[in-house]
Structure formats: structure tokens, C-alpha cells
């Protein structure tokens, strides 16, 4: 598997970039790996990087973007934070990744059995974590289908909230970053959501 160059990055369309991630996840699920020399990629990226994707995911130890999408050094910008929440620093990182460096796709990736989502559903308060979990409350408020046991012990409720949270995060990216929104309107990038299943390793994209 070749390291991305400025030329290969520039020639990718947003749809093709997303397809690369889908194919990588299929390899991961099937316990296959692309043939790549990571040490060689260290050398090939030493003078510069040309990643094709920006992925916002959770800090959960099971959800490393490079692993679950079978990507190598220099392929993706990986932004990780509990509950894959959004703030102005993350938006700035996305603007750098897309407008300056040239990535073609932004993925907002939630995952099943998310501890941060469950904690928000349980209204956990703990130091600075309280402020982080408060950012998930809008998704909880938007979940209208489950009326009983709306807590972190209800896996169905947690997963539904996670889905909604991903969608609301995408809306916020478009609303709060005119730079990213313009790139999407121009067709230079695409923004997609997805859910990683911690039991199967499969990523389901919301398209």
C-alpha cells in the first residue's frame, strides 16, 4: 500500500476517499491487512503529510481510526475525544485538515456501548467531565422514541442517543464552521456520520 502524496491526495474525490475507508473497514472485519511497510512510511512522510480523511471519534480504546479503517502513517487525521463531542478547537482542527492540508472527507464516528454517552444519560457529574458530558444532552433531549429507562443501563437508548449525537454534530460542523461548510458546498469535501460496532468491528455509515 503506497503512502499518499500531494498528487494522489489531490486526485481523490470525496466519494473515492469515503470508499477507501469502507474498503479498509471491510479488511479489518475480515482480519485482513493491506501490505504496507510502516517504517518506510515514516521515511516517506518525514518531509510532509497528505492525508485524505479527517475522523472525529471517541477516545475509547477499542476505536482507533487507523486500525478499524486499516490505514497507515500519513493517511488520516485522527481527532479523538470522549463521546466524539465537538468544540471550537476541534472545529479549528477540521478547518486546518480540510482547507489547509486538503483532506477530502470528514467522518463523525460514534460507537456502540459508548461510556461517555452512557454517562451523559446517567447525568454523571465529575470535575471537568461534567462540562464535556453536557455537550451530549441535546442528543438525549432529541431522543423521543424510548419513554422508559432512559438511562445508561439501557443499551438501546444509549445507541439511539449516539446516532442522534452524530447527526447533531454534523449539523454543528456545518453551522459553526463556514469554512468547512463552503468546502462541502463546493464539492471539495463530504461530511458523513458513522457508527462503529464494538462487537463486530463493522462501521455503518449514515448516508
Q: Which residues are annotated as a binding site?
A: 58, 60, 111, 114
- Is the Cα dihedral 127, 128, 131, 134 positive or negative? negative
Q: Which residues contact 90 (CB under 8 A, 6 or more apart)?
A: 56, 79, 81
Q: Are 192 and 110 in contact (CB under 8 A)?
A: no
- DSSP 3-state assignment of 8? helix
Please report, in range form, the residues annotated as the binding site for Zn(2+). 58, 60, 111, 114
Q: How far apart are CA 40 and CA 13, in angstroms?
A: 26
User: Kind and range of the H or E element at 170?
Assistant: helix 155-176
- Report the candidate in 78, 67, 69 with the shortest Cα–Cα distance to residue 25: 69
Instruction: Report the 10 Å Cβ neighbour count for 143.
Output: 17
- DSSP 3-state assignment of 26? helix
- Is the Cα dihedral 11, 12, 15, 19 positive or negative? positive
Amino acid at each position: 500500500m503506497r503512502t499518499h502524496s500531494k498528487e494522489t491526495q489531490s486526485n481523490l474525490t470525496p466519494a473515492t476517499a469515503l470508499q477507501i475507508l469502507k474498503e479498509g473497514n471491510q479488511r479489518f472485519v475480515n482480519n485482513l491487512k493491506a501490505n504496507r511497510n510502516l517504517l518506510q512510511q515514516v521515511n516517506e512522510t518525514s518531509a510532509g503529510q497528505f492525508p485524505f480523511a479527517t475522523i472525529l471519534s471517541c477516545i475509547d480504546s477499542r476505536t482507533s481510526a487507523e486500525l478499524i479503517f486499516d490505514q497507515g502513517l500519513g493517511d488520516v487525521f485522527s481527532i479523538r475525544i470522549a463521546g466524539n463531542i465537538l468544540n471550537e478547537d476541534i472545529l479549528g482542527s477540521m478547518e486546518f485538515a480540510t482547507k489547509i492540508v486538503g483532506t477530502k472527507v470528514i467522518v463523525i464516528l460514534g460507537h456502540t456501548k459508548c461510556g461517555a454517552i452512557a454517562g451523559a444519560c446517567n447525568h454523571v457529574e465529575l470535575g471537568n467531565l461534567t462540562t464535556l458530558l453536557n455537550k451530549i444532552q441535546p442528543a438525549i433531549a432529541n431522543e423521543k422514541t424510548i419513554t422508559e429507562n432512559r438511562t445508561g443501563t439501557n443499551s438501546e437508548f444509549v445507541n439511539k442517543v449516539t446516532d442522534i449525537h452524530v447527526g447533531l454534530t454534523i449539523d454543528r460542523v456545518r453551522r459553526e464552521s463556514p469554512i468547512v461548510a463552503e468546502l462541502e458546498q463546493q464539492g471539495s469535501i463530504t461530511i458523513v456520520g458513522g457508527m462503529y460496532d464494538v462487537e463486530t468491528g463493522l462501521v455503518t455509515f449514515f448516508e
